[in-house]
Amino acid sequence: MATRRKAPRGGTEKAAEVAIEPTEDAAAPAEEGAVQPAQKPAVTKRDLVARVAELAGVKRRVARPVVEAVLAELGNALSRGEELNLRPLGRASVNRVREGTKAEVLIVKLRRARADLEVGPEGSPDGTDPLAQAAE
């Protein structure tokens, strides 16, 4: 049984513990093709830097500034309302924006082509290295 805190409405009440019981629907098997919430832990920037460094064959200290710059520009582009068309990631567009007191909340729709979902070991659908090797 999971619990969560229920926020007070008027500001004078204390937060109360609310028990959340799983329902029968939650335990039922999902329909084929149904979208399920993420069950795996989130990928952190550290994980992303390590993966990019390994795929590119460079040290993490070389990959880190590039990954940070790409993430910053992707976030800025989405904040400006620009649509991203980045294969094999897909096409991302902002559906809604909500300004919070501490953060900007962007609801982003990401559409991926089925061919891009089947990416090979080297990063391209056919399994070849998408980056050309330097001429000798």
Residue type, 83: E
Q: What is the pTM of this model?
A: 0.56
pLDDT in tens, 17-75: 444 455 454 445 555 665 666 577 899 999 999 999 999 999 999 999 999 999 999 99
Burial 62-75 (b: 16+ CB within 10 A, else e): ebbeebeeeeeeee
pLDDT (0 to 100) of residue 123: 53
Q: How far is CA 134 from CA 2, 131, in A?
A: 54, 9
Contact partners, residue 4, CB within 8 Å, separation at least 6 = 17, 18, 20
pLDDT band of residue 128 (cuts 50, 70, 90) is low
Q: What is the mean pLDDT of residues 81-85?
A: 91
Residue 136 has pLDDT above 50, yes or no: no
Report the distance separating Cα 8 and Cα 85, nearest Å: 42
Pure H helices in 1-136 = 24-27, 45-56, 60-79, 114-117
- With residue 93 as reference, give the H or E element that holds it: strand 90-99
In angstroms and rounded to an integer, the radius of gyration of the C-alpha atoms of the chain is 21
Q: Where are the domains of the chain?
A: 43-80, 82-117
pLDDT (0 to 100) of residue 33: 61
